[in-house]
Each structure stands twice: as structure tokens, then as C-alpha cells.
Structure 1
Amino acid sequence: MARKQSDYLAALLADAEDEGTSPPSPAPAREPAHERARATTLLGRESALARVANGEVRQVTQLLLDPARVRIWPGNARNYAHLTEENCRELIDSIIAEGGQKVPAVVRRIEGDPACDYEVIAGTRRHWSISWLRAHSYPDMQFVAQVASLDDEAAFRLADLENRARADVSDLERARNYLDALKTHYGNHQTRMAERLKLSKGWLSKMLKVATIPDAVIAAFASPSDVQLKPAYALAQALDDRETAKAITGVARQIAKEQVERREAGDLPYPAADVLRRLLDAPKMLAGEEKAEPYRYATRYGRTALTVMSANRQGVTIRLHAGSGADTEELVAALRDALAHLDASGKGLQR
């Protein structure tokens, strides 16, 4: 008998004893002790197998797999392309320290794909980390997986349950995953989906709304993970109006361009709160209720240090922000840059 099956049956026998299974009647004194032990073992094993057969206990199969033969189920919220050595470093170190993967992933068998035999339902980071280790000095590392028989809706619920406790799965990733699942698994019935996932209808409705924010607007943020549910919901609502959406999209493109320039210059990107404020203020700028800031200076930590509030014939109003981390020398340099920027744009003090 294979070792795994033997261990499994031994565990079942232990369970049976814990539940108070009645022992067989005492054998006559003339019966050898080893015969009595054998009879007890056979009876217990027969009972254990019966429990498996009638569905009272389910056998769990764990396999050691080559991750190259395992693909990622597209119904999972986690974006495999966003995984890196940096955001998986803690898991990688844990696998190395423990001599391998201790917590199995959940996979299901697939057919019709000559390149893969299984797909990952839960355990995307584990799959990525084992793949990375095999390519970086640990070629013998195996992907430990538990095989399950699941339809797509059950697979989605299992993956969602695991991802809820993961801080590295962003609100936007989950929101878009829910929107896809709403159409694919629940016939666009939000109430049914909320009941199956045991979620608040109101909370699910907000998540689905956030999922509708277009990529052109998301690009304004330094990372999709910056898009948090509560503030993003206000942005998603604002995008319902056609003219407002046009203004927000235009400002988003400008911010996205500035973010690229900051990265190329080695500066930190704009914080999410500043991006969100500029996006929500876009309609006011379009209507002329509020003028766009002629100049804004942020420190290398991404904190706003100086802002040109207004520039007109009466003069220039400049705000120095507390808590930016900039010292006097940096603020003076920022002021010079601001004045030069105003002069170049025709809004300086010399006009």
C-alpha cells in the first residue's frame, strides 16, 4: 500500500477511536495477543473504508507537480502579471526556510491543453514563487497541490474566499473579478451573487460600480492597487455623467503623462489622494469654477511642498505645505522653479 494511503487510513482509524467506536468483544485468554490486535485493526480498517465509500469522509489527494505543467485559472481575482520577486519575497523566504511548500494550493484537472494538466484555483502566489525558485537555484522545488472537482462557480467562490484575507489583492482586482463573475456565473443577478458569496448587497453593489472605472482613468494612479473602494466609488459615480466623464478622462491622461515623467526622473509618483482630488476637480476646471494649478512641486517622497494657487494681474499666490519634508533650501529652489515656470507660460510677475 502506498505511504500516503497508509497514513490516510491510519488517521481515519485514529478518528474512529476518538469518536468512541466500540471495541470488539474480548477474545478468549488462549488467543494470542498479536491475533487480537490483527482482528481489531482489520475491523477498524473495514469501518474506515466504509466511511469513505458512503461519502461520510472524503479522500484528499495531494500531488507534487511541475509548475510549468500547471496554468492559472482566469477566473481568479489576482493578476499573475503583477506578481514580482519583491511582493512575493516573504513567501519565497518562507518556502526556502521550510524546505518546500507546506500549504497546498487547490487545483483541478483540465483536458484539451497539451501544455498543462491542471489549473490553479487557489494558490496563485505559491505557484509563482515555486516557479521563481525553480528558475533561481532551486530546480528541484515542487508545486504542492490538492486536486478538487469543482465547477466554475464553485471554483470562483473558493478563490474569492481565499483572496478576501489577502491584503495584496487590490480592491480594483476584486471588483473587476466580481463584475466578470456576475455575468458569467450569476446571470447578472446581484442579489443571487450576494447570497452565494455571503456578502452585503450594498457592499457588492459598490464593488461592481468601481469595476466600471475605465483603464484610461486608472492609468492616472501610480498603481491599480492605489484604487481603494471608498474613494473610488465616488469617482465611479462621477463618471456616470457624460460631460463629467469627459473632463475626468482628459485630466487623467495628463496625470498619467506626469506620472511617467516623474518615474523617469527618479521621483516618487503622485500619491493616490492627490490624483483622486485632481480627477474629481476636473469638472470644476472645465466649467471655469476653478482654475488648474499653474505649478505644483512635490518632494522625492511624493509629498506636496509648494503649490501656485493663483496667478493673475494682481500677483501670484503661493502656498507652502506643512509636513512635506522639504527643508528651506529645497523650498527656495522650488520657489525659483515656480517663478521660472510662470514666466515661461506668460503668467509671471513681469507681464
Structure 2
Amino acid sequence: MSKRQSDYLSALLNDALSESAPDTAPLPSVSAPPPSSAPASTQSAATLMVRESALARVASGEVRQVTQLWLDPARVRIWGGNPRHQASLTEHNCRDLIDAILAEGGQKVPAIVRRVEGDLAHDYEVIAGSRRHFAISWLRANSYPDLLFLAQVYTLDDEAAFRISDIENRARKDVSDFERARTYLKALDLHYGGKQVRMIERLRLSKGWLSKMLTVGALPDWAVSAFATPADIQLATCYPLAQRIQALEAAGDTAFLEALREGAAKIAALQANRQAEGIAPVTAAEVVRLLTHTGKTEPNDALVTLPAPSGRVALSVTASNRNGVSLRLHAGSGASEAELMELFRQALMTLTAQGKGLKP
């Protein structure tokens, strides 16, 4: 996280402190977990510190300290405005954090939580630190029942909670652009009255970047299903597809959209088959490319249409008359130069068979 972002987080937390007194509940004792049978590597610990840098500044004293509480994670829920896709958290993708917690004798960097009312099953909700919450919950269910969840409690309204959660997650590579984009899209109406200008001011974002993120966040579920996981949906790769779908929706082109839906369904089925067979999934770039070319038709005067070995149109003949033959080479077909030359030969042969070939 950059110094500018960490200063912003510090200011947000200081604002929260100035509006409420810290919790003073006594700290229950906690038994340190036994050392891991396979101590975490130095790299795992370093990764944890990098990813937790924002909250480490809170713990180090750069932000005024509040009482830290040791909580039963079962009594702590995840705030609905958290950008992380909770269903995607697994032992595998949290292994570095789990190993680091074991190696350090417990959780060292506190999460940020706030109290909840009217929920008999929970006392707090996580604003920032859902991955830590998952790791402690997993460890308690797997041989370390005495571990507790370390948190600092703040009084925050929803908009302040959203800003804190957002800035804390900006430096995290394991929170995808799509997860953040969906959160931004939801927050735009909930906290900023649908006004991007207000959101830009509060979050200190650029207008162009936020506009692109909101476009990606608006990807319909049928398009999202074509990707192996939501984490694959990144701004640089998927914005062109999201922009295209948005334009088709604005134009009311239902026929083209239906073709895209059918294409996405076929890719989703392929993804499921590959996962079942243990084969690498279709990459996000390939998904975008396939959907971008789905449903494209040739001009009405196309005389010949020839596909590349990939199955996508590579060459078409748009006209043939006494003045010559007009050919169109299609981008994105995947055809090599040699393959295009062969398609050119086939096109000439087809025209000749139709009686529309080149005249000597």
C-alpha cells in the first residue's frame, strides 16, 4: 500500500475514533497454538506482512490505538459491503496466512470490526479482515479450538465502513477487480445517491478509472458464468467485453445479446467439464475473445466465408466483378500467414466453381 493510501486509512480510522470511545471489554485469555509441524517459510511471513501493511500501521501506533478484543469468530459475521468473494476463500488460497498464524503463535494483525444490533447469533461484523476471520475459523475447526479472532472495534456508519474496507483492499492482489467493481456498483446507489462525482471525491479515485470499474461491475451473471472464477475478471482484460455488452443493452439489440448468452453458456459448460477432468480452465483472455466474436455476421454481399482451423471466420469474399475480387481478412481468427494463404487459394477456387472467378 502506498504512503498516500495508508495516510488516507489512518485519517479514516482517526475520524472514527474521534466520534466514539473505544470498547473496554476485558480480554479473555487465549491459548497459543502449538507450533506447526511444518513451520511457515520466511516468504510466507513476508507475504502476510505485505498484505497486512495497512492494518499493521494501525497496530504500530501511527493511528491512535483502541482496545483490542479477542473474539470467538463464530460470533462475528462478515459485513455485507465487504468486496471479497467469501465463497472463494479456501484452505488452499489462505494457506500462507494459516501457516503464518501458526508460526507466530496466533493472529498478530487485528481486523477492523463494528458492533451489530438485533442479531442474536453475532456480536460484531468484519469491516476489514475477512481472510483473517476465515483462517482463524478454519484453524479452530482443525485442531486449534482455543484460537480467538483479534479485532479492533470502531463505531462506523455504512459509508465510512465502505471507505475503510475499500482502501484496505486496494493493495491486495487477491481481491479481484470484479469483486471490487461489484462493490463499487452497489455502493454507488447505497452511499452516493447514484452520483459518480460524489463517489470520486470520497474515495479519491480518477473519473475514467471508476467509470470502467462500474462498467465491469455491471457484467450480467450469464457473462460472469463463462469465466472459471470471478477472480479471473480483471479490468484490463474484461473491460472491452463489458463495454460491448453495455452498448448492446443500450441499443436494445436483443438478438445479439441472446447470441452472447448462448456463447457464454457453452463456455461455462466447457469450464465445468475441464474442472471435472482436472484440465486447466479456459483463460479470461480467451473467454473475452470468444464472446467478443460470438454472433458476428458477414455483410449481405459476402460471396464466400472461410473459417480458420480455430473455427472462427478468417477470410471472406465481399465482391467479385470485372474490376477484381474484394477480400476481407478478419482479425482474431488465430490463422497463421500460411493458413491465410491456403484460405485465399480456396476462396479463388470456390469463386471459379461459382463462375465468379477472376477473368484473365
Q: Confirm or deny that 1:263 pairs with 2:269.
A: no
**Distance between the aligned counterparts of 2:107 and 2:116, measured in 1?**
23
User: Structure 1 237/292 Cα, relative in aligned 2: closer, same or farther at 3 Å?
Assistant: farther
The residue type equivalent to 1:148 in the other structure is Y
Which residue in the other structure is 1:279 paired with? 291
| Alignment deviations for residues 111-153 of structure 1 (CA, whole Å, 9 cap, x no partner) | 1111010000000000000000000111111100000011100
Between the aligned partners of 1:257 and 1:140, the Cα distance in structure 2 is 43
- Report the counterpart of residue 236 of structure 2 in structure 1: 230
Alignment correspondent of 1:204: 210
Which residue identity is paired with 2:161?
A
Residue 85 of structure 2 corresponds to which residue in structure 1?
A: 79
Gaps of 5+ in 2: 1-23, 26-62, 316-332, 337-360
Distance in 1 (CA, whole Å) between partners of 2:286 and 2:78 is 35
Identity of aligned pairs, percent? 57
- Specify which of 72, 89, 114 is matched with residue 66 of structure 1: 72
Instruction: Find the aligned partners of 1:138 and 1:285 in 2 and give their Cα distance.
Output: 60
Residue 179 of structure 1: aligned partner: 185
Q: Distance in 1 between matches of 2:305 and 2:281?
A: 23
Match of 1:129 among 125, 129, 135: 135
Which protein has greater RCO, CA pairs closer than 8 Å, 6+ apart?
A: 2
Matched, 1:147 2:153: yes
Q: For residue 29 of structure 1, what is the aligned residue in structure 2?
A: none
Structure 2 partner of 1:250: 262
TM-score, normalised to structure 1, is 0.66
> SS in structure 2 opposite 1:284?
coil
CA contact (8 A) 2:74 2:137 kept: yes
Secondary structure of 1:282 counterpart: coil
2:197 is aligned with 1:191: yes
What is the distance in 1 between the residues matched to 2:305 and 2:133? 50
What is the count of residue pairs matched by the alignment? 252
Give the direction of change, closer, same or farther, for the CA distance of 1:308–1:245 in structure 2 (3 Å limit).
Answer: closer
For 2:166, which of 160, 171, 181 is the aligned residue?
Answer: 160
Secondary structure of 1:153 counterpart: helix
Task: Give secondary structure in 1 for the equivalent of 2:151.
Answer: strand
CA, structure 1 residues 166+150, in 2 after alignment: closer, same or farther (shift >3 Å)? same
State the partner residue of 1:18: none
Q: Deviations for 1:89-117, whole angstroms, at most 9, x for unmatched residues?
A: 00000000000000000000111111010
CA 1:284–1:98: 2 relative to 1, 3 Å:
same
* Structure 1: gaps of 5 or more residues: 6-56, 297-306, 312-317, 322-351
**What is the deviation of 1:58?**
5.4
Aligned-pair CA distance for 1:266: 2.6
> CA separation of 1:275/1:230 partners in 2, compared to 1, >3 Å: closer, same or farther?
same
Instruction: Look up the SS of the partner of 1:121 in the other structure.
Output: strand
Cα displacement (A) at 1:245: 2.5
Runs of 4+ with >3 A deviation: 285-296, 307-311, 318-321
Amino acid at match of 2:264: A
Aligned equivalents of 2:257 and 2:277: distance in 1?
30
Which residue of 1 is the match for residue 3 of structure 2?
none
TM-aligned CA distance change 1:108 to 1:247, over 3 Å: same
CA contact (8 A) 1:222 1:259 kept: yes
Query: Which of these two proteins has the greater Rg computed from alpha carbons?
Result: 1
Q: Distance in 1 between matches of 2:200 and 2:208?
A: 9
CA distance, structure 1, for counterparts of residue 216 and residue 306 of structure 2 = 26
Asked if structure 2 preserves the Cα contact closer than 8 Å seen for 1:238 and 1:245, the reply is no
Distance change in 2, residues 1:59/1:96 (3 Å): closer
Task: Map residues 4-43 of structure 1 onto 2, 5 A cutoff.
Answer: none
How far apart are residue 246 of structure 1 and its match? 2.5
Task: Give how far 1:258 is off.
Answer: 1.5
1:283, distance to aligned residue in structure 2 (A): 3.2
SS at match of 2:117: coil
Whether the 8 Å contact between 2:308 and 2:335 is mirrored in structure 1 is no
Q: CA separation in 2, counterparts of 1:167 and 1:292? A: 42
Whole-angstrom distance in 1 between the partners of 2:179 and 2:305: 34
Q: 1:309 to 1:168 in 2, by over 3 A?
A: same
C-alpha distance in structure 2 between counterparts of 1:206 and 1:75, whole Å: 20
Distance 2:148 2:157 in 1: 26
SS at match of 1:145: strand
